[in-house]
Amino acid sequence: MRWRVAPVDAWPEESVRTVEVSEDLRIAVFRVGGRFYALEDRCSHEDAPLSEGEIVDGCCVKCPWHGARFDLATGRPLSLPAVLPVQTFPVIVENGQVFVEVPETLA
């Protein structure tokens, strides 16, 4: 299923938007360096909202609670205290709109 996030031209660089897919799934969509990345909006360490974290080095997000860093492209943890990855989702830009592709089993 595709979830509309926002128009490209209304989305500033180095910023994040969130999409609430269900009660159990919220997705953080980051715009960095002209690219879009979508991650589950939940740190794998203690469930902190990654959408409130800091974008670091143009390639990762730093958890706002304990500082774990996650690769925006892969969801892989790059530092402790997180050791498990977060789920990533495909991002599609079509007709000036940004969408996140979410498997129906999660929606």
CATH code for position 43: 2.102.10.10
Residue 8 lies in a domain: no
Q: Please answer whether residues 25 and 38 qualify as being in contact, where contact means their C-beta atoms are separated by less than 8 angstroms.
A: no
25-49 residue pLDDT tens: 999 999 999 999 999 999 999 999 9
pTM value is: 0.94
Residue 51 lies in a domain: yes
1-12 residue pLDDT tens: 999 999 999 899
Domain of 76, in residue numbers? 13-89
And the tokens for 71? 């690769």
**pLDDT over 70 percentage in the chain:** 100
Counting the structural domains of the chain, the total is: 1
Residue 58 lies in a domain: yes
Other beta carbons within 10 Å of 74: 15
Rg (CA), the chain: 13
Residue 17 lies in a domain: yes
Residue 99 lies in a domain: no
Residue 3 lies in a domain: no
Residue 1 lies in a domain: no
Residue 29 lies in a domain: yes
